[in-house]
Amino acid sequence: MTFSVPKGLKMVATGKLLRAVVEGNQSITDWTSEIPITVAGFNFGNFKSDEGKPGRQHYILQTFANAETPDVILSPWN
């Protein structure tokens, strides 16, 4: 999959990131999967991220969250 988003925003997607470049005012990323998948998820935004090995697993887990608290969380529930 290839995505083009406004420069300064981060793209996250299912699969392995192959390429990330900035061309003009766009950030372009290419993603792949080693096996066929039925559904692929993706999102872009101003994310903060962290990674680590959960428990004794042999894989690295990457997490992404909004850098700022969303308005829906900040607004009163009236």
Per-residue model confidence (pLDDT) at position 75: 79
Per-residue model confidence (pLDDT) at position 45: 92
Which residue spans within the chain are E strands per DSSP? 2-6, 10-13, 16-23, 26-32, 42-45, 47-52, 61-66
Beta-carbon count within 10 A of 27 CB: 19
pLDDT digits (tens, 9 = 90+) for 28-64: 999 999 999 999 999 999 999 999 999 888 888 889 8
Report the b/e string of 49-75 with b at 16+ CB within 10 A.
Answer: eeeeeeeeeeeeeeeeeeeeeeeeeee
Per-residue model confidence (pLDDT) at position 44: 94
Q: Are 42 and 30 in contact (CB under 8 A)?
A: no
